[in-house]
């Protein structure tokens, strides 16, 4: 009877460990939070994020269609705080920014403002900037 109870306990612990390992191994999913097509005339744009999207721990930008040079990103939180991030990086179409870790406990994003420079004014296509967040 005791041996049967021990084997059941061992089986239960093994199942719990396997479940925990599979949860830890599951890759986190990046959520698409918005897109903005940048203008050759402007040097600042923003992507609105609604509070219903929830809280995030990190964000990243992905550039499509044309090159752009990102200078700074300003993350505006729902609680009124602003996090400034210097990027100072030239991106080609298809490039992604580094992962930007968000600070503080209340990381519900209201909007992300980015300062940029289009690489060439004669470029026929406008760059699109996609914003992604991870919980």
Q: How does pLDDT run across 63-104, given as a tens digit for each residue? A: 999 999 999 999 999 999 999 999 999 999 999 999 999 998
- Residue 3 pLDDT greater than 50, yes or no: no
Neighbour tally for 131: CB within 10 Å: 26
Q: How does pLDDT run across 26-77, given as a tens digit for each residue? A: 677 999 999 999 877 779 999 999 877 889 999 999 999 999 999 999 999 9
pTM score, whole prediction: 0.76
* Structure-token pair, residue 100: 């930007």
Question: According to the model, what pLDDT value does residue 118 have?
Answer: 81
Contact present, 107 and 83 (Cβ < 8 Å):
no
Question: According to the model, what pLDDT value does residue 23 have?
Answer: 47
Higher pLDDT, 40 or 22: 40
d(CA 101, CA 32): 16
């Amino acid at each position: 009877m005791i041996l049967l109870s021990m084997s059941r306990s061992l089986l239960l612990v093994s199942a719990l460990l396997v479940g925990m390992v599979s949860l830890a191994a599951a890759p986190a999913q990046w959520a698409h939070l918005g897109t903005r097509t940048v203008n050759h005339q402007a040097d600042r744009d923003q992507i609105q994020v609604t509070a219903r999207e929830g809280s995030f721990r990190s964000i990243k930008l992905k550039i499509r269609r044309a090159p752009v040079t990102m200078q700074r990103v300003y993350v505006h939180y729902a609680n009124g705080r602003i996090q400034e991030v210097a990027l100072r990086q030239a991106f080609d179409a298809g490039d992604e920014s580094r992962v930007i870790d968000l600070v503080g406990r209340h990381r519900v994003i209201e909007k992300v403002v980015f300062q940029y420079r289009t690489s060439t004014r004669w470029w026929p296509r406008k760059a699109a900037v996609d914003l992604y967040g991870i919980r």
